[in-house]
Amino acid sequence: MGLLVQRTGRLARGLLRNPTSPAQTLARRAVATPLHLPRSVPSSPRHVSSLANSQENATDRETITRLLYSLASRKEVERYLRIFSAANKFAVLKVGGAILTHQLDELALSLSFLHRVGLYPVVLHGAGPQLNEILEREGVEPDYIDGIRITDARTLRVARQVFLEENQRLVEKLESLGSRARPIPLGTFTASYLDKEKYGLVGKIEKVDKEPIESAIRAGCLPILTSLAETEDGQILNVNADVAASELSKVLEPLKIVYLNEKGGLFHGKTNELLETINLDEEYDELMKQEWVKFGTKLKLREMKELLDHLPRSSSVAIISVDQLQKELFTDSGAGTLIQRGYKLYKHDSIEKVGAERLRDALKTNDDEIREGRKSVAQFFSELSREPYTIYGDEPFDVVAFVSRPEGEVPILTKLVSTKNGVLNSVTDNVWNSIRKDHKRLIWTARADDENRAWHYERADGSFSRNGRSLFYYGIQDVSEVERVVRSLEEKARIERAYLPLHAAKPSKGPDAVRAFSTCARRPAARVATVEGKRGYATAVERSGPLPATTSEPKRVALIGARGYTGQALVSLLNQHPYLSLSHVSSRELAGQRLPGYDREEVRYSNIGVEDLKKLASGRGDGPPPDAYIMALPNGVCKPFVEAVQEGGKNQPGGHAKIVDLSADYRFEDGWTYGLPELYSRSAIRDARLISNPGCYATSIQALIAPLLPHLDASAPPTVFGISGYSGAGTKAAPSGSTESQTKGATVPKISPEDLQGGVRPYSLTDHIHEREAARHLGRLNQGSSSSSQQDLAFVPAVAPWFQGIISTLSAPLNASLSAKDVKQLYLDFYQGQGQLVDIGAKVPEVHDIALQHAVKIGGFQVHSGGKRVVVVAGLDNLLKGAATQCLQNLNITLGYDELAGIVAK
């Protein structure tokens, strides 16, 4: 599509942002890296430059720079480092007061990281929450007008003390990490009274003195400023920190203006959705009319508009969290909320209205297909004009997009081209937003090896690849509909042939994903606690972190029952596995047909009965016996197949092959090992020959309750309310005469969105099998592996009209008061070192956070005002961590592979 490197994350940052911050891990590693500091303080920028070019410092910088490559490509990192290093003023960072209270360590790590790569951001911090806390203790209620704090002499006295203390705390923390910092609490801002009668001792900045800042940088120090100002005659005045940062930026004109806050961006006051991009030229007036835009938010928007009106149009402001600072600075995807003046956009339904020559120039300059001569502009115009279309773009022609939209058919984005300015100024995202507003469904294609494939995957609901090309789509939820749409488009030559999907399942999103449920590329490790010597408690059941791999020998696995959604997901995972291959796939109805979704070699369905399975396991069947069997059969029918493998393989060296059962048949059997690696013994799984895969809801329930077991009120059991997508109900054969039934062996959901009529349906309101399953195993976790006691709990499930993903909400009475912070720490401690498939964060997981993801996400920690009832939310994909991913985890462990082989890219 000729797409240049994009600011990729503006539409999908909620997916990219996660509580496990690779940036923070990276910063910690950087600070731990020895850095050869100069023996004397440089006396000039030239001296700083010459020292930076010394071989020792260059080596150190290269070592630390390499750490950034885990966040982005080498090309991105080096480009930004080159740009920032050459800038006179690199960045102004405004730090919210709450960050100094709750995230001082993280902030200092991030700033120290920048200092070690030779960058000197100008840091200006607030102290609002600290000031409010002290004033409230003294009986003074904070008062605001238009977001500005009313400041009397008493308030100013406290403010001055708080600012000086917070400033010094940050400086001392930075210096403890080996980074030189200089406190500049006063002397930078000269101000007059904003309105003495109305606001009291609040200043309006009249002048900014750059010299203290430049002196600090010349000395190799990070300048740390407060927002206190002084009048010409020496009266200290309070200035809103956002306002001070704005005035400072007008004078310094830095490359980056970054506001750090705890929330990680600006959020819509009603929907609570992240405002990923705000284009002031188009949205400011409407935003300021919104009833939820008031107080500090209104002041922030007003100040940022005034700031950007004074700066080049290419300037922008980012509002992010501390743990996203490296991501915002050194990657094209960025983070948080981006505020910019924006560009006026257009959309027209004819080439003539846009201007043929301008379009021709844009395509010749920026489109690979035309620039390389594979297609002429005239040819493209001719093909475009065969059906209705819309051209989207911006007035400077930095971005142009073409959408073909025949009536009654799914629109196709045929081209999207951008200049470098369009990329850097996020015009591409603005145009994309305009396209999405107009089209609820869309299809587009790109090369499978497109260096910007992350941009495509983040904006797609699904994708699949064939012959070096990838097709992406959004707004089409039913995969069978995707197949019908693609087939229709191929027949009408609207897209190239060879795009039919591998199988009917939604694909995994990710920059390296090419098939449904493929490896989850660049997944970060689960966030873990860093407090030494602390754990929530030691369970009587042995737990350990991931075991080391003991083999990379290729092995074979047979899948008994592969027709359902979980079977399809397993096929896709095994298709990507580095060591395992599918030898046999069983399905009576599909016998003889080639297995879709598996292209490592040709595998056909076979009708494997009990006697056939016994023969296969004994080595008397078709080829050598498999090393493992996955039983993906309905509940209640698995036993004879398991017994056939046991009987047939009893004379094999070492006994019968490993078996992982996905049904509920053996989850209550003592002779079987229960395979939930993060909670129970991985060693037991490795040594087991019979492994029972947990249920999806049971996994979610246990992940929620386990860290709280010692703190639960024994007299009041916890309750979990779970709501699952309709894929959790499984599949059934298509009814006779239906469109689906025309394909042999086709299946349809047992429960469909049409059945639910847009609502949710509670079911199995008492004694759900997953309630009993979770109660049994949590009892063992709490009391010991040999205990038969159960953990009392209540579980109420419901099914919803989305396809996949479970959200479970725990309400648990406690035996003693805890704070939300304490509860979160319990989870961090409990899951420390338990691998990459548990994410602990602050936010409440939502369906879009967990659908098509391998990990269980836990967050939303809240405690009732009485302190003795906690609410925590977990989300997981019922087809992945609730089934297929967990099955492959267990299979990897028991066969001696790396636990995440074929699941998470290394």
Judge whether 555-692 and 696-882 match in fold: no
DSSP string, 650-706: TTSTTSSPEEEE-SSTTTT-TTSEE--TTTS-HHHHHH-SEEEPPPHHHHHHHHHHG
Single out the catalytic residue among 221, 520, 638, 696.
696
3-class SS of residue 638: coil
Token duo for residue 23: 């940036």
- What percentage of the chain reaches a pLDDT higher than 90? 42
Bridge-based pairing of strands 256-260 and 181-184 is: unpaired
Token duo for residue 323: 């743990």
Whether residue 224 is predicted with pLDDT greater than 50 in this model: the reply is yes
Whether residue 55 is predicted with pLDDT greater than 80 in this model: the reply is no
Higher pLDDT, 461 or 498: 461
Dmax over Cα atoms in the chain, in whole Å? 99
Q: Which residues contact 754 (CB under 8 A, 6 or more apart)?
A: none
DSSP string, 489-507: HHHTTSS-S----SSSSPP
Angular region, 245: left φ>0, alpha ψ -120 to 50, beta rest:
alpha
Q: What does the domain layout of the chain look like in residue ranges?
A: 21-29+41-340, 345-491, 555-692, 696-882
What's the confidence (pLDDT) of residue 242? 87
557 contacts 630 by C-beta, under 8 angstroms: yes
Whether residue 172 is predicted with pLDDT greater than 90 in this model: the reply is yes
Q: Using CB atoms within 10 A of its CB, is residue 104 exposed (0-12), middle (13-18) or buried (19+)? A: middle
Token duo for residue 705: 């309750």
What's the confidence (pLDDT) of residue 760? 87
834 closest CA partner among 550, 524, 543, 533: 543
345-491 domain in CATH 3.90.1200.10? no
Whether residue 215 is predicted with pLDDT greater than 90 in this model: the reply is yes
- Which of the four pLDDT bands, split at 50, 70 and 90, describes residue 19? very low
Q: Give the number of other CB atoms < 10 A from CB of residue 669.
A: 12
- Which of the four pLDDT bands, split at 50, 70 and 90, describes residue 844? very high
Least confident range of 18-32, 594-608, 779-793, 796-810: 18-32
What's the confidence (pLDDT) of residue 583? 92
3-class SS of residue 568: helix
What's the confidence (pLDDT) of residue 123? 97
pTM of the model: 0.45
Of 3.40.190.10, 3.30.360.10, 3.10.129.10, 3.40.50.2300, the CATH number of 696-882 is 3.30.360.10
Whether residue 611 is predicted with pLDDT greater than 80 in this model: the reply is yes
What's the confidence (pLDDT) of residue 643? 93
Give Cα separations from 32 to 26, 37, 116, 371, 432 (angstroms). 10, 14, 11, 47, 41
* pLDDT tens per residue, range 116-133: 888 899 999 999 888 888
d(CA 22, CA 71): 7
What's the confidence (pLDDT) of residue 56? 46
Long-range contacts, 245-250 (Cβ 8 Å, 24+): 245/92, 245/94, 245/124, 246/303, 246/304, 246/306, 246/307, 247/189, 247/205, 247/208, 248/92, 248/122, 248/124, 248/188, 248/189, 248/208, 249/92, 249/307, 249/311, 250/208, 250/307, 250/310, 250/311
- Mean pLDDT on 866-871: 91
What's the confidence (pLDDT) of residue 479? 63
152 contacts 193 by C-beta, under 8 angstroms: no
Least confident range of 96-100, 270-274, 712-716: 270-274
Q: Which residues contact 456 (CB under 8 A, 6 or more apart)?
A: 444, 446, 450, 463, 470, 472
Least confident range of 218-222, 546-550, 790-794, 870-874: 546-550
* pLDDT tens per residue, range 308-347: 888 877 678 999 999 888 888 877 667 889 888 877 788 9
Angular region, 439: left φ>0, alpha ψ -120 to 50, beta rest:
beta
d(CA 780, CA 786): 7
Computed over every residue of the chain, the mean pLDDT equals: 80
CATH superfamily for domain 21-29+41-340 = Acetylglutamate kinase-like (3.40.1160.10)
Least confident range of 212-216, 331-335, 457-461, 604-608: 331-335
Whether residue 358 is predicted with pLDDT greater than 70 in this model: the reply is yes
- Mean pLDDT on 374-391: 91
815 contacts 712 by C-beta, under 8 angstroms: yes
Q: Using CB atoms within 10 A of its CB, is residue 166 exposed (0-12), middle (13-18) or buried (19+)? A: buried
Token duo for residue 770: 């997953």
- Which of the four pLDDT bands, split at 50, 70 and 90, describes residue 30? low
What's the confidence (pLDDT) of residue 496? 59
Does an H or E element contain 848, and which?
helix 847-850
Half-sphere exposure of residue 798: CA atoms within 13 angstroms, side-chain side: 15
Higher pLDDT, 857 or 461: 857
Q: Rounded to the nearest 5 degrees, what angle is found at the Cα of 289, between the Cα atoms of 285 and 292?
A: 130
What's the confidence (pLDDT) of residue 839? 93
189 contacts 228 by C-beta, under 8 angstroms: yes
* pLDDT tens per residue, range 420-430: 777 766 788 88
* pLDDT tens per residue, range 522-540: 222 222 222 222 223 333 4
What's the confidence (pLDDT) of residue 89? 75
Whether residue 282 is predicted with pLDDT greater than 50 in this model: the reply is yes
Whether residue 304 is predicted with pLDDT greater than 60 in this model: the reply is yes
What's the confidence (pLDDT) of residue 52? 41
d(CA 517, CA 505): 8
Higher pLDDT, 4 or 223: 223
d(CA 128, CA 145): 15
What's the confidence (pLDDT) of residue 293? 87
* pLDDT tens per residue, range 689-705: 999 999 999 999 999 99
* pLDDT tens per residue, range 736-774: 444 444 444 455 555 666 777 778 888 888 878 889 999
What's the confidence (pLDDT) of residue 373? 86
What's the confidence (pLDDT) of residue 737? 45
Of 3.30.2320.50, 3.40.50.150, 3.40.50.720, 3.30.2140.20, the CATH number of 555-692 is 3.40.50.720
Higher pLDDT, 90 or 860: 860
What's the confidence (pLDDT) of residue 673? 94
Q: Using CB atoms within 10 A of its CB, is residue 162 exposed (0-12), middle (13-18) or buried (19+)? A: buried
d(CA 301, CA 235): 29
d(CA 404, CA 410): 9
Higher pLDDT, 846 or 53: 846
What's the confidence (pLDDT) of residue 557? 96
Active site includes 696?
A: yes
